[in-house]
């Protein structure tokens, strides 16, 4: 797939960034903290489906020692990532298309990206095998994934409270967020997206030679065993 092919599906880069910047998801902060406090000093780190670069930039705020790379196929996301790319390299394209250009990294991040990257058992194992090959032996895999369908009404209430914007501004933002949430729910119901709860991740990763290091809610850290 070319970067432009991702444009329609993920045309919500701006809203996602706003929600990130306003810290509307508390457990995203937990994930960022987990990565920032456990990646070894001087490590190389790859953020697959890193979107607008917000998460990587937050990690680098406290970890300038890391050699960081963002991999992202969507042009609207890339446009935003380029504006905050001080401190990290950008690789444009999908994991599958760019795999030959990737080295091996000490740590890999998959934040709200794995769900969209493969459907069905075989494809899922192939994706995880590919990711595993891009990790150094004993390298760490940091995963943060949606594990349930969105309850759209309660998301709207939570967002209103969190963003505290004038009603008109909120309505115009909601017009872009709501279809993205509906698209996610429809994709899950159609089997196009995969929900990874703890059990699903263990079932997918442990047979591929990963051990679980730690887990906190929807944030999971695994290590390649060799």
Ligand X SMILES: C[S@@+](CC[C@H](N)C(=O)[O-])C[C@H]1O[C@@H](n2cnc3c(N)ncnc32)[C@H](O)[C@@H]1O
- Residues in contact with ligand X by CB under 6 A are 6, 10, 16, 20, 48-51, 54-55, 71-74, 77, 94-96, 111-113, 116-117
Considering beta carbons, is residue 44 or 99 the nearer one to ligand X?
Answer: 99
Considering beta carbons, is residue 51 or 139 the nearer one to ligand X?
Answer: 51
Considering beta carbons, is residue 77 or 135 the nearer one to ligand X?
Answer: 77
Backbone φ and ψ of 148, nearest 5°: -155, 160
User: Smallest distance from the beta carbon of 168 to ligand X, in angstroms?
Assistant: 26
Considering beta carbons, is residue 73 or 166 the nearer one to ligand X?
Answer: 73
CA 80 to chain centroid:
15
User: Smallest distance from the beta carbon of 31 to ligand X, in angstroms?
Assistant: 9
User: Smallest distance from the beta carbon of 4 to ligand X, in angstroms?
Assistant: 11
HEC string for 155-176:
HHHHHHHHHCCCHHHHHHHHHH
Angle of the 13-21 helix axis to the 152-163 helix axis, nearest 10: 60
Considering beta carbons, is residue 92 or 208 the nearer one to ligand X?
Answer: 92
- Could you give the C-alpha distances from 106 to 60, 137, 190, 206, in angstroms and in order? 15, 8, 35, 19
User: Smallest distance from the beta carbon of 47 to ligand X, in angstroms?
Assistant: 7
CA distance 31 to 15: 20
User: Smallest distance from the beta carbon of 221 to ligand X, in angstroms?
Assistant: 16
């Amino acid at each position: 797939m070319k970067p432009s092919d991702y444009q329609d599906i993920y045309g919500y880069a701006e809203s996602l960034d706003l929600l990130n910047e306003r810290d509307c998801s508390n457990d995203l902060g937990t994930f960022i903290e987990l990565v920032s406090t456990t990646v070894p000093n001087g490590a190389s780190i790859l953020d697959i489906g890193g979107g607008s670069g917000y998460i990587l930039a937050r990690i680098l705020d406290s970890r300038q020692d890391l050699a960081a790379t963002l991999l992202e196929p969507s042009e609207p996301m890339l446009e935003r990532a380029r504006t905050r790319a001080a401190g990290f390299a950008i690789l444009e394209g999908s994991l599958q298309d760019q795999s030959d250009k990737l080295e091996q990294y000490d740590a890999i991040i998959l934040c709200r990206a794995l769900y969209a990257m493969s459907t069905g058992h075989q494809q899922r194992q192939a994706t995880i095998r590919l990711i595993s090959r891009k990790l150094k032996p004993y390298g760490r895999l940091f995963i943060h994934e949606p594990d349930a369908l969105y309850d759209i009404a309660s998301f709207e209430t939570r967002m209103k409270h969190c963003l505290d914007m004038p009603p008109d501004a909120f309505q115009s933002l909601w017009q872009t967020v709501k279809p993205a949430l509906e698209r996610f729910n429809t994709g899950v119901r159609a089997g196009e997206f995969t929900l990874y709860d703890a059990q699903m991740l263990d079932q997918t990763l442990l047979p591929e030679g990963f051990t679980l290091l730690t887990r906190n809610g929807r944030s999971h850290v695994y290590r390649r065993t060799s």
